[in-house]
Amino acid sequence: MTTKKIVVVGNGMVGHYYADKLATHPAQHDITVLGAEPRPAYDRVHLSEVFSGKSPEDLALTTREHYKEIGVKAHFGDAVARIDRDKKEVVTDLGRRFPYDKLVLATGSYPFVPPVPGSDLPGCLTYRTIDDLGEIRAHARKGKVGVVVGGGLLGLECANALKNLGLQTHVVEFAPGLMGVQLDDGGSTMLRAMIEELDVSVHTSKATQKIVPGKEHQLRMEFADGTSLETDLIVFSAGIRPNDQLAKQADLEVGERGGITIDYHCRTSDSDIFAIGECALFGGRIFGLVAPGYRMADAALSQLTDTPVSFQGADMSTKLKLLGIDVGSIGDSHGKALHKGQACASFLYSNDRERVYKKIVVSHDGKKLLGAVLVGDCSDYDTLLQFFLNDMDLPGNPESIILPADSGAEPLLSGMTLPMSATICSCLNVTKGAIVGAIEGGCCSVADVKSVTKASTGCGGCFALLKSTVDAELAARGVEINNHLCEHFAYSRQELFHLIKVGSLKSFVDILDKHGKGRGCEVCKPTVASILASLWNEYVLKKEHVSLQDTNDNFLANMQKDGTYSLVPRIPGGEITAEKLIVIGQVAKKYQLYTKITGGQRIDLFGARVNQLPDIWGELVAAGFETGHAYGKALRTVKSCVGNSWCRYGVQDSVSMAILIENRYKGIRSPHKLKSAVSGCTRECAEAQSKDFGVIATENGWNLYVCGNGGMKPRHADLFATDLDDETLIRYIDRFLMFYIRTADRLQRTSVWMNNLEGGLDYLREVVIEDTLGIAKELESQMALLLNTYQCEWKTTIEDPEKLKRFRQFVNSDKEDTNVVFVQERGQVRPAKETEREALLTLS
C-alpha cells in the first residue's frame, strides 16, 4: 500500500487537532500542514488571557518541533491561494505546490465587520488572532476608551481583553439584550447588571450608522437613534463568517450565506476534499464552537483510519467565564420550541442579592430537561448537561436541581446512574463507556483512567464526576480500596496504633522488624513517629526518632518554598502582653524576618535560615515563649474572643477557657493538625464552629461542637453537647481527642473521621458521653499521661549542644546557602522570584 498524501489547510485549533490525531494514529500517512498565520496552532478560546499576563507561548497548542517529532511537514506564514482539483494540488501565495490524495480544509472563519461607513478607519479592529491582539494593544496605548461592537459570547470575551488593557470599556449591541443566542431575557438582564458592576458600559438596541473621526477621542460612532459615542478604538466582534473562498474558487458547493457544504463524513462535494471546523456548513449551520469542530475532525479522520464515525451535528451547550462571570446555556434555553406538540414548562430561580439566575426548561410532563440558562453560578451545569444529553428522567421535583442545596444533601447524579453513552469529559469527548472500558482493561485508579482515556485533562471541570464514576465502578467490581499505610506496612494507621500499643513498642526499628518490611519511607516514618508520640510522648528529636520526623517536625519549624523556615511562638488564646509583643518585634527586626498575623491569632515569622533557628528560639524561650507546634500534626491554636471580661454581650470568660484548653492540649501529636476556638456568646466571634472542636458560651455553661474545619472543604462543626460545666467540657474533649488519635487514619481530619465512623455523630456521643465501649477511663488516663509528659521541644533542643549540631547548614563550613535571596516588599523581606534572583546573583 502506498502512503497517502494528506494536506491540511489551516492550523487553527481544529486543523491542529486533526493533524495531530492522524499523525499519532498507527496508519501511516504523509501529512502536510499549511498555516496562514506565522505561528503554529494556539488556543483561541482563551485569547483575552494574553492581556492578563499569559504570553502567546502559553496559549500554544503545539510547536514546530512537535510536528517534526510526529513526522508532520508543517509550513507557516504562507497561505494557500488556490486548489487545483484536476492536478490534485494546492498552490500557496509564494507559489509553492503541494500535491494531495486527500485534502482537508480547516480554514476557520473571520470576524464579521458590518458594512458601516467608516468601519475601515484606523482604530477599527477585529479580534481573532494573536496578531490582532498586537494591533489592539498598540491602539490601546494611545487611548483611554475602547468599544466592542457585539454583545455575544465573543464580544464579551473581547470586552474582557479591553478591560484588562485598562481601557474604559463599552459594549455596543444591535439586539435588545446580551448573548441573545444563549440566554433568555432574565438571564441576559442579570448578566448585564453584573457586567455593569464591573464598570463596563453596556449599550443595547444600538444600530451603528456611521463612524467618523471624533473630537475628544479618535473616533465617533453615530447611532440610528441619534445618539453618539466617542472612543479611541473599536473592535468588531459581531459574529463570524466562514473562510470559504478557496472552496468557492474551486467550485465546491457552498451555502447561500457561506460555508463549505459537508455531509455526515465531513466530505465536500468533491469526495477527496473534507472540510471541518468553522469553515464547514452542516445541515445549514455553522458550528462556531471548538468542541463541534473536534467532532467533525474525528468524523473526517475516521474515513482514513477504518473505524468510520459520522458527524450528526453537535450540541451547542456551553459553559464559560465572561469577564469573570459564570455563564451557562444548555439546549433550548429560551423554551420557545414545542416538545412533542406541547408547550414546555420552566422553573426559575433568581437571586438579585447574590447575583444568581438559573432557569430550566422542561417538557410538559416535567420528565425531560429541554434547556437551561445559568448566570452567576454554573455549579449545576454538569448535572443539567448530563440530564439533557442523555435524555434522562428528571426527579419528581425538577426545581430541586437549581434551588440552593441544603448542606449535606446527596449529589443528585453520581457516576453509577449515568448511561454508558453519557459524555463524562466533553473537552476530550470521553464517554462513561470508555471509562468503564479502561477499568476493564486494567486501570485501577483515577490517575490510570486519566492517562489512558485523557478524560479530565482538558478544562478539568469533570474531575469530580470522573472520580465518582471510577470509584463506583471499582467498588462494583469488588476492588478493595486498600488502606495500607504504604508498601512497608500492610496495616491501616488504626491497626498499627493498636499493634504498637499492645506490643509496647517504642522504636521504629522494632516496629518495622515486627510488623513491616523494607526500610520505611516518608509516609510510614512520620506516621509511626506520630503514633509513638501519642502513646509514649518522648522528645521528638530523640536519637531514635529524629530520622522519622517529617520535614517540619525535624527542624521544629515550617519549611517554605526556598528552603528557609517560618516559626510561630505559642500565644495561648491569642492573648499577649505588650512586653512579649515587643520581644517578637525585636527578634523579627534583629533577624530580618517577615512577620504576618495568622488566622489563629498568632504571629508567624518567616525567612529564618536553618542555622538561625536555635539563636532565634534562644531569645524567644528566654522571654518566656514556647513553641507553637505550627510544624506538627498537633494542636495548633485555640482562638478566642474577649468574652465577658470586656464585651457587653459576653456571657462567659472565653479567653480564660481558651488559654486553659490550649495549654492543656499543646504538644500532643494527632493524625492531622487540630484547631479549636472558644466564643464568649452566641454571636460566635471566635468562629468555633469551623474548628475540630469548638466551644461556645451559654448562660449556663458551654456548648461543645465537634468535627468542623475550614480549608479546602469547609465544614461546620456539629453540636455535640450543651450547657456543660468546665469540668465536664474538659472531660469530653479529653475523650474525644484521644478516641480520634487512636482510631483515625493518617492525615484524616476529624470531620472525615467522623463521617467514616459507622453511626457518625450519634455513635461518637455514645462512646464519649455514655461510654458504651467502656474505654472512657482508658482514654482519660492516656490523655493524662500526655499532659504530664509535655515539654517545649524548642527549650529541650536549645539546651542540648549535640542536638544543635543538626541545625548547621554545612557540616564543614560556616557559610550560608547562597541560593536564598530576599528582596524587599512593603518594608519587609520576601523570597526573590526566579527572575529577580537571577538578576541579583549576576550582579554580585
Partner 1 sequence: MNSAPRPRSSSDPIAIFSLSELQEDSGACVLINDVQIAVFYLPKETPPLYALHNWDPLGKANVLYRGIVGDIDGELVVASPLYKQHYSLGTGRCLEDEATRVPTYEISLEGDSVIVTLNPRRHAA
Q: Does 835 bind partner 1 (CB under 8 A)?
A: no
Name which position in 487, 771, 799, 800 contacts partner 1 (CB under 8 A).
487
Q: Does 522 bind partner 1 (CB under 8 A)?
A: yes
Give the HSE-up count for residue 750: Cα atoms under 13 Å, Cβ half-sphere.
33
Residue 337 or residue 509: which is nearer to partner 1 going by CB?
Answer: 509
Closest distance between partner 1 and the C-beta of residue 463, in Å? Answer: 20
Name which position in 615, 687, 817, 836 contacts partner 1 (CB under 8 A).
817
Residue 683 or residue 808: which is nearer to partner 1 going by CB?
Answer: 808
Name which position in 520, 569, 628, 650 contacts partner 1 (CB under 8 A).
520
Closest distance between partner 1 and the C-beta of residue 310, in Å? Answer: 40
Count of residues that interact with partner 1, criterion CB under 8 A: 38
- Cell 522570584, residue? 833
In whole angstroms, give the CA distance from residue 615 to residue 28: 68
Residue 661 or residue 821: which is nearer to partner 1 going by CB?
Answer: 821
Closest distance between partner 1 and the C-beta of residue 709, in Å? Answer: 23
C-alpha cell at 719: 453540636
CA distances (Å), origin 399, targets 370, 405, 756: 14, 11, 31
Residue 311 or residue 631: which is nearer to partner 1 going by CB?
Answer: 631
Closest distance between partner 1 and the C-beta of residue 805, in Å? Answer: 7
Residue 340 or residue 561: which is nearer to partner 1 going by CB?
Answer: 561
C-alpha cell at 157: 470575551
Q: Which residues make Cβ contacts (< 8 Å) with residue 292, sequence separation at least 6? A: 313, 314, 315, 316
Residue 295 or residue 450: which is nearer to partner 1 going by CB?
Answer: 450
Residue 189 or residue 809: which is nearer to partner 1 going by CB?
Answer: 809
Residue 120 or residue 838: which is nearer to partner 1 going by CB?
Answer: 838
**Do 494 and 746 form a contact (C-beta atoms < 8 A)?**
no
Name which position in 302, 809, 828, 830 contacts partner 1 (CB under 8 A).
809
**Do 77 and 84 form a contact (C-beta atoms < 8 A)?**
no
Residue 395 or residue 518: which is nearer to partner 1 going by CB?
Answer: 518
Which residue in 361, 348, 356, 406 sits closest to 387, CA to CA?
Answer: 361
Site for partner 1 in 599-628 (CB under 8 A): 610
Binding mask 528-567 toward partner 1 (x if CB under 8 A, else -) reads ---------------x--xxxxxx--xx---x-xxx----
3-state secondary structure of 515: helix
Could you tell me if residue 51 is left (phi over 0), alpha (psi between -120 and 50 degrees) or otherwise beta? alpha
Residue 549 or residue 751: which is nearer to partner 1 going by CB?
Answer: 549
Phi/psi of residue 313, nearest 5 degrees: 85, 170
Closest distance between partner 1 and the C-beta of residue 72, in Å? Answer: 23
CA distances (Å), origin 211, targets 143, 174, 206: 17, 15, 13
Closest distance between partner 1 and the C-beta of residue 288, in Å? Answer: 39
Residue 745 CA from chain centroid, whole number: 26
Q: Does 811 bind partner 1 (CB under 8 A)?
A: yes
Site for partner 1 in 625-684 (CB under 8 A): none
Could you tell me if residue 251 is left (phi over 0), alpha (psi between -120 and 50 degrees) or otherwise beta? left
Residue 521 or residue 773: which is nearer to partner 1 going by CB?
Answer: 521
3-state secondary structure of 249: helix
Closest distance between partner 1 and the C-beta of residue 566, in Å? Answer: 14
Q: Does 772 bind partner 1 (CB under 8 A)?
A: no
C-alpha cell at 329: 446555556
Q: Does 28 bind partner 1 (CB under 8 A)?
A: no
Q: Which range binds partner 1 by CB under 8 A, 231-239, 498-506, 753-761, 806-814?
A: 806-814
Closest distance between partner 1 and the C-beta of residue 42, in Å? Answer: 25
In whole angstroms, give the CA distance from residue 301 to residue 104: 10
Which residue in 719, 671, 679 sits closest to 698, CA to CA?
Answer: 679
Site for partner 1 in 139-168 (CB under 8 A): none
Give, in degrees to the nearest 5, the angle at Cα 688 between 682 and 693: 125
Give, in degrees to the nearest 5, the angle at Cα 685 between 683 and 688: 95
Q: Does 64 bind partner 1 (CB under 8 A)?
A: no
Beta bridge partners of 608: 565
Q: Which range binds partner 1 by CB under 8 A, 208-216, 338-346, 669-677, 809-817?
A: 809-817
Q: Which range binds partner 1 by CB under 8 A, 5-13, 233-241, 453-461, 804-812?
A: 804-812
C-alpha cell at 499: 499493634
Residue 550 or residue 718: which is nearer to partner 1 going by CB?
Answer: 550
**Do 235 and 152 form a contact (C-beta atoms < 8 A)?**
no
Closest distance between partner 1 and the C-beta of residue 504, in Å? Answer: 23
Residue 197 or residue 487: which is nearer to partner 1 going by CB?
Answer: 487
Closest distance between partner 1 and the C-beta of residue 102, in Å? Answer: 37
Q: Does 519 bind partner 1 (CB under 8 A)?
A: yes
In whole angstroms, give the CA distance from residue 508 to residue 349: 59
Q: Does 806 bind partner 1 (CB under 8 A)?
A: yes
Q: Does 521 bind partner 1 (CB under 8 A)?
A: yes
Closest distance between partner 1 and the C-beta of residue 833, in Å? Answer: 11
DSSP for 430-458, please give it.
Answer: EEHHHHHHHHHTT--SHHHHHHHH-TTSS
Closest distance between partner 1 and the C-beta of residue 524, in Å? Answer: 8
Q: Which range binds partner 1 by CB under 8 A, 387-395, 436-444, 589-597, 812-820?
A: 812-820
CA distances (Å), origin 194, targets 69, 189, 202: 47, 9, 11
Q: Does 805 bind partner 1 (CB under 8 A)?
A: yes
In whole angstroms, give the CA distance from residue 137 to residue 50: 10
Closest distance between partner 1 and the C-beta of residue 608, in Å? Answer: 14
Q: What is the largest CA-CA distance in the chain?
A: 96
Name which position in 407, 818, 824, 842 contacts partner 1 (CB under 8 A).
818
Q: Does 525 bind partner 1 (CB under 8 A)?
A: yes
**Do 105 and 274 form a contact (C-beta atoms < 8 A)?**
yes
Residue 672 or residue 765: which is nearer to partner 1 going by CB?
Answer: 672
In whole angstroms, give the CA distance from residue 69 to residue 504: 60
Closest distance between partner 1 and the C-beta of residue 525, in Å? Answer: 5
Q: Which residues make Cβ contacts (< 8 Å) with residue 669, sequence separation at least 6? A: 529, 530, 533, 534, 540, 632, 633, 634, 741
C-alpha cell at 594: 517577615
Closest distance between partner 1 and the C-beta of residue 794, in Å? Answer: 18
CA distances (Å), origin 601, targets 297, 351, 575, 641: 57, 36, 8, 10
Q: Does 516 bind partner 1 (CB under 8 A)?
A: no
CA distances (Å), origin 22, targets 18, 19, 108, 262: 6, 5, 19, 20
Residue 537 or residue 554: which is nearer to partner 1 going by CB?
Answer: 554
List contacts with partner 1 (CB under 8 A). 487-488, 518-522, 524-526, 543, 546-551, 554-555, 559, 561-563, 610, 805-806, 808-813, 815, 817-820, 834
